[in-house]
């Protein structure tokens, strides 16, 4: 028996690809809330888990036990606190090149002193002091981002609605435990949202002006290679916004989320704007809105492709609520097997090249009926019905039809093109190229059986209807 396979190489699913595939299936969805409300905090993805580090409120008020929450497998737990560090409110940081969570900035209360920076590990707690940032860096309301070399940025900052906001920028390198002064912001500002874009740039969105209100809506970009900032012209956030968060999604796009919206009277917003830094002229386009408008929250990308938004301040005060948005690549189907004519008894393999963020589910259907692995009941056997590669062993006449592959992940679903399988002259039972007495003899020899080789009409029994079909194809 011959093996019919139109696509020679079987292509495994691509883990993450940047696609212009189907529209995303959903928006922000609720996740289990944290053990208690948190705001003015640092959120990181550390070793595959999401952590909310410090912030307010602290577990016993103004003492040394800053809570740290861990999200793992959909549930929250409390891990080692920021013991001996605070209270640290309004801090920043990230995961450095030593694979330590680094916490810096913020103020302690009630004195309002600047908190020293520490590296932190969830099992051991604060590990060691890190170098002090330049004294010109404000302790609060700075933008923060982490580049692809795990260097952590501290951008602008100040007291927001006052006359003491700054344009100072610096960068922490964990490999040398040192800070490097960077070019100043084009405009002095505080509480801007910032994120690394995966393309060698740090983006900054909105914030407060050098003297406080009004909030601003302009966008700036830092080029790491040249240590230069540039204003992005007419690329504005559609509404003046501060205290938002920006996160690089799994799809390579930057998501600007939430914040306080309005030039003078800020209100919590659920706006989400999406920027694709991979195109020559990026723009901010609207994305799905948060279910609960908020600002001063934690936000981080999980290994599962979801951006998690946690806590923050709503119109009703601090919240423990958590939402997530899937940003993995949507599924897409590329090259696949063509329609073809198949001889009875052949083995057929239908393949498709599938890309998109894992996990991806697969479903093959024939004439809009889902296929399952195993014997078909008419002599053939199906395998691979839940994979990109469908095999039909010992192809029979009832296997003819229109085959379609559907793929899906958390982003949405995609459908392959119709693949039509026709039977090569089913009345030519011995496949010698002509319908004659030899074929008639074979059919009569199988009379009354359910053998698919001679069941030309697929009704489960070799009988008069099959004889009529054979005689109609005689010669």
- Kindly report each contact of residues 150-153 with a partner whose C-beta sits within 8 Å and lies 24 or more positions away, as own/partner: 150/94, 150/95, 150/96, 150/97, 150/174, 151/96, 151/97, 152/92, 152/93, 152/94, 152/96, 152/102, 153/182, 153/194, 153/202
* pLDDT tens-digit series, residues 40-82: 889 999 999 999 998 877 666 555 568 899 999 999 999 998 8
pLDDT in tens, 260-300: 999 999 999 999 999 999 999 999 999 999 999 999 999 99
What pLDDT is stored for residue 407 in this prediction?
Answer: 96
Name the architecture of domain 3-15+331-423: Sandwich (2.60)
Question: Per-residue pLDDT for 101 more than 70?
Answer: yes
Residue spans of the domains in the chain: they are: 3-15+331-423, 29-326, 437-472
Task: Tell me what pLDDT residue 59 has.
Answer: 62
* Average pLDDT along the chain: 89
Percentage of residues in the chain having pLDDT higher than 70: 92
Q: Do the Cβ atoms of 139 and 188 come closer than 8 Å?
A: no
437-445 vs 464-472: helix crossing angle, rounded to 10: 170
Q: Is the pLDDT of residue 3 over 50?
A: no
- pLDDT of residue 9 exceeding 60, the answer is no
State how far the Cα of 235 lies from the Cα of 385, in Å rounded to an integer: 47
Q: Which CATH architecture has domain 29-326?
A: 6 Propeller (2.120)
Residue 110 has pLDDT above 60, yes or no: no
**Among the ranges given (367-381, 423-437, 441-455), the one the predictor scored with the smallest mean pLDDT:** 423-437
* Alpha-carbon radius of gyration of the chain: 31
Helix (H) or strand (E) segment spanning residue 366: strand 361-366
Contacts with 279 (C-beta within 8 Å, 6 or more apart), sequence order: none
Sole residue written with tokens 């004439």: 367
CA 91 and chain centroid, separation = 27
Q: Which pLDDT belongs to residue 15?
A: 27
Q: By the 8 A CB rule, do 256 and 193 touch?
A: yes
Q: Categorize the per-residue pLDDT at 20 as very low, low, confident or very high, splitting at 50, 70 and 90.
A: very low
Instruction: Give the pLDDT mean for 346-370.
Output: 94
Is the model's pLDDT at 11 over the cut of 70? no
Q: pLDDT, tens digit, for every residue of 177-198?
A: 999 999 999 999 999 999 999 9
- pLDDT for residue 109 is more than 90: no
Question: Is residue 314 scored above 50 in pLDDT?
Answer: yes
Determine the pLDDT at residue 13.
Answer: 28
Q: What was the pLDDT predicted at 16?
A: 27
């Amino acid at each position: 028996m011959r093996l019919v396979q139109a696509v020679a190489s079987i292509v495994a699913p691509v883990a993450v690809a940047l696609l212009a595939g189907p529209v995303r299936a959903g928006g922000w969805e609720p996740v289990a809330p944290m053990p208690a409300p948190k705001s003015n905090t640092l959120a990181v993805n550390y070793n595959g888990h999401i952590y909310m580090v410090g912030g307010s409120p602290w577990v016993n008020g103004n003492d040394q036990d800053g809570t740290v929450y861990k999200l793992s497998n959909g549930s929250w737990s409390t891990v080692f606190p920021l013991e001996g560090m605070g209270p640290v409110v309004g801090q920043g940081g990230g995961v450095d090149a030593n694979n330590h969570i680094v916490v810096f900035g913020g103020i302690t209360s009630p004195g309002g002193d600047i908190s020293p920076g520490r590296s932190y590990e969830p099992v051991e707690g604060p590990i060691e002091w890190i170098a002090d940032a330049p004294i010109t860096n404000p302790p609060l309301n700075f933008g923060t981002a982490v580049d692809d070399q795990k260097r952590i940025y501290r951008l602008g900052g100040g007291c927001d609605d006052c006359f003491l906001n700054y344009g100072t920028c610096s960068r922490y390198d964990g490999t040398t435990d040192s800070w490097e002064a960077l070019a100043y912001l084009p405009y002095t500002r505080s509480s801007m949202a910032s994120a690394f874009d995966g393309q060698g740039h740090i983006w900054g969105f909105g914030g407060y002006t050098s003297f406080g209100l009004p909030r601003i809506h302009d966008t700036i970009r830092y080029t790491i290679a040249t240590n230069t900032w540039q204003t992005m012209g007419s690329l504005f956030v559609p509404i003046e916004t501060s205290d938002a968060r920006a996160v690089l999604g799994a799809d390579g796009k930057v998501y600007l989320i939430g914040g306080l919206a309005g030039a003078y009277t800020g209100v919590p917003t659920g706006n989400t704007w999406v920027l694709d830094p991979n195109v020559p002229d990026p723009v901010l386009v609207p994305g799905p809105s948060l279910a609960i408008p908020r600002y001063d929250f934690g936000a981080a990308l999980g290994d599962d492709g979801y951006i998690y938004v946690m806590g923050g301040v709503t119109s009703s005060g601090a919240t423990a609520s958590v939402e997530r948005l899937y940003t993995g690549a949507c599924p897409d189907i590329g090259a696949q097997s063509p329609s073809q004519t198949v001889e009875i008894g052949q083995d057929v393999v239908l393949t498709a090249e599938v890309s998109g963020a894992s996990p991806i589910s697969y479903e093959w259907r024939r004439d809009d009926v889902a296929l399952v692995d195993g014997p078909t009941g008419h002599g053939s056997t199906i395998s691979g019905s839940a994979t990109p590669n469908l095999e039909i062993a010992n192809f029979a006449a009832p296997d003819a039809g229109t085959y379609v592959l559907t793929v899906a992940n958390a982003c949405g679903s995609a459908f392959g093109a119709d693949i039509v399988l026709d039977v090569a002259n089913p009345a030519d039972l011995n496949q010698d190229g002509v319908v004659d007495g030899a074929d008639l003899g074979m059919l009569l020899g199988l009379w009354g059986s359910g053998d698919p080789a001679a069941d030309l009409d697929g009704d489960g029994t070799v009988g008069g209807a099959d004889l009529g079909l054979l005689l109609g194809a005689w010669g």
